[in-house]
Amino acid sequence: MTNAPTDTAPRGPAEHAVRDQIIAAAHECFARYGYGKTTVSDLAKEIGFSKAYIYRFFESKQAIGEAICTDRLDQLVSEARAAIDEGGSATEKFRRMFKILVNLSLQLFFDDRKIYEIAALSASEQWASARTYKATLKAMLIEIVREGRESGEFERKTPLDETCRAIFYAMMPFIDPLHLERNLDLLPDAQVEVCGLILRSLAP
């Protein structure tokens, strides 16, 4: 198991345009045929580039998958951040964050299944995109819990890092692409009930 190499292509406007063209073509091919069945040669034929030219911008197929996965997970993070910013109390912010993450993960699963499979592979193999996604969500969760402690909404006796790890573990079955598929029949009730249990455990 290896992580995708860092993309070392030039960064000028023209290079960015070509990179975006490769990503767009890859997204279409992955969505149609699946990540596993698509080769870099397939992408080259789709775009009309040589395989060697694609390798100027991405050192592997996984690097292309990383770019697509990062873009989609960034959208989830952006909408989760917006949901948090619209919340009032820390309790409401947590409710909104958890709910929007589950809803967006379900939307990806049902509407863009092949891309969902890339996200699940990313989580399974611990690609940089998956690690960054989890780290960002954990940081947002710490922010909410810390705010709740400062406002008196949440208890302060349990160490902050322990509290947030436990909460994150409880959320994972419903927001991690690797696990969500096995828990579809539990939704939406399970998410609401787990959310309620977490918030009761945080009460002072």
- What is the DSSP secondary-structure string of 11-77? -SHHHHHHHHHHHHHHHHHHHHH-TTT--HHHHHHHHT--HHHHTTT-SSHHHHHHHHHHHHHHHHH
Whole-number pLDDT of residue 115:
84
pLDDT at 7 over 50: no
pLDDT at 2 over 60: no
* 185 three-class SS: helix
pLDDT digits (tens, 9 = 90+) for 28-75: 888 888 888 889 998 888 888 889 999 999 999 999 999 999 988 998
Select the CATH number that applies to the domain covering 11-58 from these four: 1.10.10.60, 3.30.1510.10, 3.40.190.10, 1.10.3470.10.
1.10.10.60
Report which of residues 136 and 7 the model is more confident about: 136
**What is the location of CATH 1.10.10.60 in the chain?**
11-58
Average pLDDT, integer, range 132-157 = 96
pLDDT band at 149 (very low <50, low <70, confident <90, very high): very high
CATH no. of 62-202:
1.10.357.10
Whole-number pLDDT of residue 72:
87
Distance CA 52, CA 33 (A): 22
pLDDT band at 168 (very low <50, low <70, confident <90, very high): very high
| pTM, to two decimals | 0.82
pLDDT at 1 over 80: no
Average pLDDT, integer, range 115-140 = 92
**What is the location of CATH 1.10.357.10 in the chain?**
62-202
Whole-number pLDDT of residue 197:
97
